[in-house]
Chains A and B, each alone.
Chain A
Amino acid sequence: MVREIDHLIYDLVERLRPVRALRIRGGMIQMMLAALASFALSALWLDIREDLLAGAFPPMFLIANGLFLILSLAAGSSVVMMSGPQVGNRHDGWKWATAMAGLLPFSAMIMATIHRRDDPPILAPEHDFYCVAYGTGFGLLMATALTNRLRRGAPVSPERASLLVGIAAGAIGVCAYGISCPLDNIFHIGIWHSVPILISGLIGRFIIPALIRW
């Protein structure tokens, strides 16, 4: 049996080719570039809100998109860390970021239960669908970048890593679309800007593991 191992080692040595090491720094840069590309795509494809172009930033816009951006970067960073396994790796930051971003749909539901006549409408069908579709679509760049990273790496929790790819993609997608979405009320942002994250997370959780298992 020892000879078998010697043969295996001989064989593996013969097959050795130089490889480019997956460094954490490189993964973070790739993730940031994917995020920037998502914003660029959104800006080129759709019209940026006029108030943003004029330098006016509504508080709800800043808070909501700030939370989504943090969520995406936290989940994406965890994916980068998970691509290079280490006993002792810690990548729990995404849980706190998810809890913080979860305040938006939670608040929307509470506000919906005490909805008053002069509040903004809970549903805005002419916008809701586009937010879900574009938010999910603009996340594809991030999803592709992170999935490629995991395929080259060695994730030891493929299901968890896949879920995080979906969350990171959905969050950056909806954040990128946010610069075009004209609605700032809590009902629309809390519900319809959270749905792409949910959808992307589910797609990631159930589709990506088959692509990255090793």
Chain B
Amino acid sequence: MIADEASLSRLMANAQGGDRLAYRTLLKECAHWLRRYFGRRVLANQLDDLVQDTLLSLHRKLASYDPDRPFLPWLAAIARYRWIDHLRHVYRREEQALADDVPDHGEGDEDEIVARISLERLFAHLSPAQARAIEMVKIEGRSIAEAAQSCGQSEPLIKVNIHRGLKKLASMVEKAQ
């Protein structure tokens, strides 16, 4: 079960004060939340690496959370930042399927918040060509040539769409909701 916003905020505030028990609970909840957050936007074999990178960033930037503000939008901004960084560094072809076993986000009061800060909202700001190019090459792990053939675009155009799309994503980390 994933804790609610208020509980996570409280755990984080306690963790900032040095409470290790609260921090352990928080990190476990965050790891669980992040696995679902990244869900189908990362190859299954890269999901745990990305979750770990994000937890490390959370630890390094613990002070940047203002306890007067909600926790999940803060975590989502860090997760988006790490995810875009991850996409930039994914070049090699990956055969593995997407993380089909990762459940979608849960039900309940948190649904609306989660939907507003989701990666899908971020992706919605891309043009269809940019979104398709990034999905095929950076997320599904196909080669540029395969993506070009599948989309009916030239290879240079695929590269341009990826470049511009990632730049757009990076500029929308906090805005897209």
Mark A residues whose CB is within 8 Å of B. 1-2, 4-5, 8-10, 12-13, 15-24, 82-90, 152-154, 156-157, 160, 214
CB contact under 8 A between A9 and B28, given known A21-B63, A85-B64: yes
A5 neighbours in B (Cβ, 8 Å): 31, 48, 51-52, 55
Does A85 contact B81, Cβ atoms closer than 8 Å? yes
Does A154 contact B57, Cβ atoms closer than 8 Å? yes
Does A13 contact B24, Cβ atoms closer than 8 Å? yes
Interface SS of chain B: helix, strand, loop or mixed? helix
What would 27 A/B residue contacts be, using CB atoms closer than 8 Å? Answer: A1-B48, A5-B51, A8-B55, A9-B31, A9-B55, A13-B24, A18-B17, A19-B62, A20-B63, A22-B65, A22-B66, A23-B66, A23-B67, A24-B68, A84-B66, A86-B70, A86-B77, A87-B76, A88-B174, A89-B77, A152-B63, A153-B61, A156-B80, A156-B173, A156-B174, A157-B173, A157-B174
Q: Which residue of A9, A23, A90 has the most chain B CB atoms within 10 A of its CB atom?
A: A9
Does A154 contact B78, Cβ atoms closer than 8 Å? yes
Q: Mark B132-148, 1 if CB is under 8 A from A, else 0.
A: 00000000000000000
Mark B residues whose CB is within 8 Å of A. 13, 15-18, 20, 23-24, 27-28, 31, 48, 51-52, 55-57, 59-70, 73-74, 76-78, 80-81, 116-117, 170-171, 173-177
Q: How far is the CA of A160 from the CA of B173 in the complex (A)?
A: 12
A8 neighbours in B (Cβ, 8 Å): 52, 55-56
Which of B18, B55, B70 lies in contact with A12, CB distance below 8 A?
B55
